[in-house]
A = this chain, B = another copy of it.
Amino acid sequence: MHVREYKAEIIGVGTELLLGNTVNTDAQDVSLLLSKLGINVYFHTVVGDNPTRLKEAVEIAKIRADIIITTGGLGPTYDDLTKQTLAEAFGKKLIFHEDIAHKIRDFFANRIPAIEMTENNLQQAQLPEGCIIFENELGTAPGCAFEAEGKHVIMLPGPPRECRSMLKICAEPYLKALSQAEIHSHNIHIFGLGESAVEEKLIDLMETLNNPSLAPYAKDGEVMLRLTAKASSRQDAQDLMLPVLQKIQNVLGNIVYGVDTDSLENTVFHLLKERGLTLAVAESCTGGLLSKRLTDVPGISRVFMGSVVAYSAHAKTALLDVPQDLISDNNAVSREVALAMAQGVRHKFNADIGIGITGIAGPETDSSGQSPGTIFIALCSNDHTYCRSPHLFHDRERIRIGGASHALDMIRRLLTDLPVE
């Protein structure tokens, strides 16, 4: 396999990054794509909305990279100077595109209520001569790509959603055409074991792997393993990965909740849909987070009936029929109350599966003396009830995320005939 080894540099443009007001997720998103495509990233640079220093950064990147990707500075305001600066650095003029200006005017005119477009917005219609225009599906500032002085230059918008969308729709095909290697990956999603414990189980395997390679990372209480192979065809890449994937699944067993899936909530959605079952949720300490995560999934209304966020004792009795006595006898944060919430919400929404979550998210210890991280997660179906009480460490946010994830994991396990508790 003979493939040109491209070197890339990512230049983030924006004073807000240098002030620490935002974190540079664009660099991460671009890096993930490039690494998937087998293009080496050797440097990230971040520079403010300052044309002199941006020019300096570009001059340095021209020496050490074949592909220069900028993020940010494409917007309508006077300090958005990326296109001007990059065009100048490569001796190109900016050309005004009437069709883009038209789209920008339309964007404002079609808003309800219509917003008057300020003239500065039209600078977004200026693009370097001879470039390929990258349409922005989520905003008004287009991106672009051009080749000059033997370098490929790609400019992407700064807002992370716009950057991510343009990366996928426009930059990925452009970059794929440069690289002749096929890079394919499988993402292995794990819930129920920490990153170092997963690594411990796989250390012998990881140390011997080269192609495919295996990289773990942890996020929001989950672990993901990315298995990546580089080959001259998709089939060859798959052939390299398959035996390793099987080995990993054998070692890890049923803590792997999915391969190449999006999330626990997505996995649960598909399982419920396949089995024709419906779900309703009663949340206390998670405060709507589980419902929010479920409804992040388009189409979930087919299986998700709804939820009650019962943040007060009154709400637990009035909306979920949890007996007042049960709460006073056991404490609002107890196995008994979680189970009663699950049963109550299942009944109220006429659903097949009910979930009840009650706990202390903190940061304060509650009046009964239970400390943050105490949590009970109950599941009730037509013929079974289950309750988990993991001790969740860390802060309010992590406790809430952990509680919601445990609930999703319990549903997944119920629907795939695995032990639930």
Number of copies: 2
Return chain B residues, CB-CB under 8 Å to A28.
Answer: 17, 20, 22-24
- A interface: dominant SS: mixed
> Which of B111, B159, B309 contacts A309 (CB under 8 A)?
B309
Contacts of A309 in B (CB 8 A): 281, 288, 291, 295, 306-309
Is A41 among interface residues, defined by CB-CB distance under 8 A? Answer: yes
Check B118 against A196 for contact (C-beta < 8 Å).
Answer: yes
A363 B298 Cβ-Cβ under 8 A? yes
Residue of B nearest to A290 (CB): B288
User: Is A98 on the interface with B (CB-CB < 8 A)?
Assistant: no
Least CB separation from A279: chain B residue: B311
Q: Interface range on chain A: under 10, 10 to 19, 20 to 34, or 35 or more?
A: 35 or more
Of residues 29 through 47 on chain A, the ones whose CB sits less than 8 Å from some CB of chain B are 29-35, 41-47
Residues of B within 8 A of A43 (CB): 18, 45-47, 53, 57
Having A20-B34, A305-B315, one finds 19 other A-B pairs with CB under 8 Å, namely: A18-B35, A18-B42, A19-B35, A111-B393, A112-B391, A120-B196, A161-B395, A281-B309, A283-B291, A288-B289, A288-B291, A295-B361, A298-B396, A301-B312, A305-B312, A306-B308, A306-B310, A306-B315, A306-B319
- Pull 27 A–B residue pairs with CB atoms less than 8 Å apart, ordered by A: A18-B31, A19-B32, A19-B41, A19-B226, A20-B28, A20-B32, A21-B217, A22-B28, A22-B217, A43-B57, A44-B45, A45-B45, A75-B196, A112-B391, A118-B196, A118-B197, A118-B200, A161-B398, A283-B291, A286-B295, A287-B296, A288-B294, A295-B400, A296-B396, A300-B311, A301-B311, A307-B309
